[in-house]
Amino acid sequence: MMEKQQYHLLVEGRVQGVGFRAATQRVAHELNLSGWVRNLADGRVEIMAEGTVEALESLLQWAKQGPRFAKVSDISLQSSAATHQFTGFEINADSD
């Protein structure tokens, strides 16, 4: 079994109101990742994803562009060991 990792991404730019969360969920499902995505009150999108490093790197590369109308200006990444606490990949309600 391949070791799983967790990536915590904060995506900046024009990333809200452009379908970023739904597109992230679709890509995560295709990559067999678990976790969640949500909008933050400051305009960023936050992604918490777990899976193989290869799949997580694919998600990271995709997130640098995002969906068609997004304009990503920066991404911060924190990597850690997987917690195995997620089932599926969900869109969480906007945070305060």
Cα 76 to the chain's mean position, in Å? 11
What is the set of active-site residues?
A: 21, 39
Number of residues that make up the chain: 96
Burial class (CB in 10 A: 0-12, 13-18, 19+), 95: exposed
